[in-house]
Amino acid sequence: MARIIDISRLISEETAVFPGDTPFSRNWVMAIADGCSCNTSTITLSAHTGAHADAPSHYVDGAATIDEVPLDQYVGRCRVIHARHPDAIRLDDIEGMDLAREERLLFRTPRAPADDTWQDDFTYLSVEVAERAAREGLRLIGIDTPSVDPSDSKTLDAHKALFSGGVSLLESIDLSAVDEGVYELIALPLRIARGDSSPVRAVLRSLD
């Protein structure tokens, strides 16, 4: 029987976000303890909280928003790779791979940040890997850190290189308990009108 592996991150008031971004907060509008018929809350959060899918409009003005992205990018065969370099995912991490055949790659990095702790020096995706992914027809790249670009990047070169080839993005997934290998990915973004991103409930299904 296929196993379901949750690769989302727990979202709470302690969830770390990019400095200057909106942290998660929750307000209880109704509570059974107060005599109401049900518990109802309002939540506020950045669209880039926890595991999330970046829309092209996040980094290219006028590009597709999250409600316009093709959903089949986020569902299907993927390969999990344990990257070796603490600073960046490099070409030798994908040496010998036919990226068009792989379709989707998810990278577990050597120093993924904790859910409740921000760190500036997270592992990013080298521009060389992004360019090769775009050139060879990869459909999606996922990473277990907050961004495919360095935290201080102002030009978002890896994002834009992936955009040039139509490669979709998942960021801040949790691969800490996932072995290398081939899985089925399901990570659908919410249908948010004009959204620059969306949190996802990302799971892997074993192909055993």
What pLDDT was estimated at residue 130? 98
Burial of 101 (0-12, 13-18, 19+ CB in 10 A): exposed
Contacts of 130 (CB under 8 A, 6+ apart): 141, 148, 157, 158, 159, 161, 162, 167
For residue 157, give the H/E element and its range. Answer: helix 157-164
What pLDDT was estimated at residue 175? 98
Could you tell me the pLDDT band of residue 94, with boundaries at 50, 70 and 90? very high
Query: Considering the chain, what is the average pLDDT of its residues?
Result: 96
What pLDDT was estimated at residue 100? 85
**pLDDT over 80 at 208, yes or no:** no
Enumerate the domain spans of the chain. 4-8+47-206
Could you tell me the pLDDT band of residue 179, with boundaries at 50, 70 and 90? very high
**pLDDT over 90 at 113, yes or no:** no
Strand pairing category for 75-82 and 104-108: parallel
What pLDDT was estimated at residue 118? 94
The DSSP letter of residue 77 is E
Q: How far apart are CA 16 and CA 33, in angstroms?
A: 30
Mean pLDDT of 82-93: 97
What pLDDT was estimated at residue 111? 87
Segment 127-172, tens digit of pLDDT:
999 999 999 999 999 999 999 999 999 999 999 999 999 999 999 9
**pLDDT over 80 at 61, yes or no:** yes
Segment 32-58, tens digit of pLDDT:
999 999 999 999 999 999 999 999 999
**pLDDT over 90 at 27, yes or no:** yes
Fold classification of 4-8+47-206 (topology level): Glucose Oxidase; domain 1 (3.50.30)
Q: Which of 174, 173, 206 is nearest to 189 (CA)?
A: 173
Q: 58 an active-site residue?
A: yes
Please name the amino acid found at residue 80: V
Q: Which of 58, 82, 85, 159 is catalytic?
A: 58
Residue corresponding to tokens 């409740």: 116
Contacts of 133 (CB under 8 A, 6+ apart): 99, 105, 141, 161, 162, 165, 167
What pLDDT was estimated at residue 2? 83
Mean pLDDT of 82-104: 95
Could you tell me the pLDDT band of residue 1, with boundaries at 50, 70 and 90? confident
Could you tell me the pLDDT band of residue 95, with boundaries at 50, 70 and 90? very high
